[in-house]
């Protein structure tokens, strides 16, 4: 290995709120020479890396994106110059973040790699709704799934429904109609379902619905990407639904903004 080789840190920036960064992440940012910044990361994160050169390498589904191969070349180039490169990814780097491809390239070049975990948007969405993804009264697990397979197809929704786990669907808003229709072939129409847009951020939006109305409710309420779709009976424990029932709005989708009371306050007011 080249003795002048630097290193790359794959850093998980979480869902947006900088308070959710780990101390380890903050330390890595402070020591960074080069920051490769994903599009969905809170832009204020650069204030934690005062000495770093910032290069924005946004990747968004359905939008113009920086090619993955170019990002990998940047990491390799700067690390081989002896620099500490911090590749900042939204959410959790090891969950739908193409970390596997980047690890292979860097290891192939003999570049040391460190991984720093963070909070995925699926967990942030559950926190916003005030639910446990693995509530033992409802399920025995949770399935994290992307709506897009490598060949641009879709996952086996019938097989996923058969697991009876809570489904956390990433990158699915453009296909929410087909996702709901596919799941309805295996799940009851009244299965609780929700959409959380910008989960964990200051502009978070949440919508509670049921599977047969999910696509229409989300569309009518103007929900779009980036968002997480949650489906399963555990979702029905949401304080959003408590709030809607107490307001006698049983026939309307329950939506709340982050300026509404938090989960604990909502429960207290609903009691």
Catalytic residue among 59, 89, 212, 256: 59
Query: Which residue, 71, 53, 61, 65, is CA-closest to 10?
Result: 71
The answer to whether residue 171 is catalytic is yes
The answer to whether residue 1 is catalytic is no
What's the pLDDT at 78?
Answer: 98
Class of domain 7-116: alpha beta
* pLDDT confidence tier of residue 160, bands split at 50, 70 and 90: very high
Mean pLDDT of 89-109: 95
Vertex 116: Cα angle to 99 and 198 (nearest 5): 75
Edge to edge, what strands does the sheet with 53-56 contain? 53-56, 34-37, 84-89, 7-12, 113-116
Q: Note the pLDDT tens digit of each residue in 31-87.
A: 999 999 998 899 999 999 999 999 999 765 545 678 999 999 999 999 999 999 999
Query: Which residue, 77, 76, 69, 63, is CA-closest to 101?
Result: 69
Q: Residues of CATH 3.30.950.10 domain(s) within the chain? A: 121-270
Among the residues of 109-213, which ranges form H helices? 121-129, 157-162, 176-184
* Lowest-pLDDT choice from 55-59, 131-135, 264-268: 264-268
> Phi first, then psi: what are they for 112, rounded to 5°?
-65, 140
Catalytic residue among 33, 38, 212, 217: 38
What burial class does residue 135 get, using C-beta atoms within 10 Å of its C-beta: 0-12 exposed, 13-18 middle, 19+ buried?
middle
- CATH annotation of 121-270: 3.30.950.10
Q: Note the pLDDT tens digit of each residue in 214-259.
A: 999 999 999 999 999 999 999 999 866 655 544 444 455 555 543 3
Catalytic residue among 171, 173, 208, 256: 171
Q: How far is it, in rounded angstroms, from Cα 25 to Cα 124?
A: 18
Q: Residues of CATH 3.40.1010.10 domain(s) within the chain? A: 7-116
């Amino acid at each position: 290995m080249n003795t002048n080789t630097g290193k790359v840190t794959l850093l998980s920036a979480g869902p947006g709120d900088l308070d959710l960064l780990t101390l380890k992440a903050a330390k890595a940012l402070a020591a960074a020479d080069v920051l490769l910044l994903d599009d969905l990361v809170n832009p204020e994160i650069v204030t934690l890396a005062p000495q770093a050169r910032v290069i924005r390498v946004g990747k968004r589904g359905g939008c113009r994106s920086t090619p993955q191969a170019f990002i990998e070349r940047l990491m390799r180039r700067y690390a081989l110059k002896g620099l500490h490169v911090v590749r900042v990814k939204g959410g959790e780097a090891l969950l739908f973040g193409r970390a596997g491809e980047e690890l292979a390239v860097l290891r192939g070049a003999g570049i040391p790699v460190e991984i720093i975990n963070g909070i995925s948007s699926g967990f942030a969405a559950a926190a916003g709704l005030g639910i446990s993804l693995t509530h033992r009264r409802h399920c025995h697990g949770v399935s994290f799934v992307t709506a897009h397979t490598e060949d641009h197809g879709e996952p086996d929704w019938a097989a996923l429904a058969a697991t009876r786990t809570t489904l956390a669907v990433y990158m699915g808003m453009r296909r929410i109609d087909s996702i709901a229709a596919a799941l309805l072939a295996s799940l009851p129409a009244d299965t609780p379902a929700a959409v959380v847009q910008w989960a964990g951020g200051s502009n978070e939006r949440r919508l509670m619905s049921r599977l047969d109305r999910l696509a229409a409710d989300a569309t009518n309420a103007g929900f779009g990407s980036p968002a997480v779709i949650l489906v399963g009976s555990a979702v029905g424990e949401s304080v959003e639904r408590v709030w809607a029932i107490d307001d006698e709005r049983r026939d309307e989708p329950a939506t709340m903004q982050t300026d509404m009371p938090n989960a604990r306050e909502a429960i207290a007011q609903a009691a």
